Amino acid sequence: MFHHSSKLQYEVRCDKPNPLFAKMLQQAIGGVEGEIRVAMQYFFQAMGARGDDKYRDLLMMTATEELSHIEFLGHAVALNLENAPVSMQEEAAKDPIVNAILGGMNPRHILSSGLSAMPVNANGVPFDMSHIYATGNLAADMMANAMAEGSGRVLASRLYTMTDDAGMRDMLSFLIARDTMHQQQWLAVIEELGGLTASLPIPNSTPESHEALEHSYYFLNTSLDKPAPQGRWSSGPSLDGRAEFSVRDKPEPLGQVPSLGKARPDSAAQKEQM
């Protein structure tokens, strides 16, 4: 069961409406880096969480907070669309707001939503839930969540530089701060699970007998004219402590030529294929 307060999680004010910035804010709602994505990702992870219930609670509470972010970002979009005209007379194009419409505002903010937010990205493409990662593996999900919060914080940081509106910057500074916390909490779960060494490889429950370990820790240099890049991944102990990293230059293929042979007589292929 969910409960809702009539007040927003954080104050949203817009000193100077900007329909073009409203379009940009849509990315933070319905983009792959946006709040719909993380809210649904944490929600489905929580519903599938097994083990200590505290991790389910952590996920569900954060999912609910992300719904709050959708709400105040939606309000921010609507405020930026205030006073935007619902017609585009040629003579009105001298008006800066109309010019913003003609120069890049999403016309669906007029045609489809009546000057309010939609579950779409900055290009007007609906969020289709294809970027929801909920594997049932706690460590894998925490890695995905840290990445999601990282990309969200990159987006909020870019949006901050795209506006000089004090109200919008204040709201975005709050989002940047919450993205910081969420990055930290997901990585803290990894640490609580024993850190990377204990968590890797994911899943750490896969028996070694199921893995061709001789292929697990070498970097393949597939370039014909450049040496392998040298780094933490090319030498020294693996991050899970099971082996040493190495490099294989100009590796020979281990498989066969993938020839399928003749087509079946009943496959509707050409006679020459059979």
pLDDT at 87: 62
145, 190 Cβ separation under 8 angstroms: no
pLDDT at 102: 57
Average pLDDT value for residue range 163-184: 98
pLDDT at 109: 87
Residue 1 or 30, more confident: 30
Query: pLDDT for 174-206, tens place per residue?
Result: 999 999 999 999 999 999 999 999 999 999 999
Question: Cα separation of 113 and 17, whole Å?
Answer: 17
Average pLDDT value for residue range 228-234: 97
Q: What is the DSSP letter of 216?
A: S
Give the pLDDT band (50/70/90) at residue 94: low
Flag whether pLDDT at 91 surpasses 70.
no
| Angle value at C-alpha 179, between 176 and 182, nearest 5 degrees | 155
Flag whether pLDDT at 228 surpasses 80.
yes
pLDDT at 89: 52
What mean pLDDT, rounded, does the chain reach?
93
Question: Cα separation of 188 and 202, whole Å?
Answer: 17
Whole-structure pTM value: 0.88
Question: Cα separation of 32 and 228, whole Å?
Answer: 33
Give the pLDDT band (50/70/90) at residue 236: very high
Flag whether pLDDT at 11 surpasses 60.
yes
Give the pLDDT band (50/70/90) at residue 226: very high
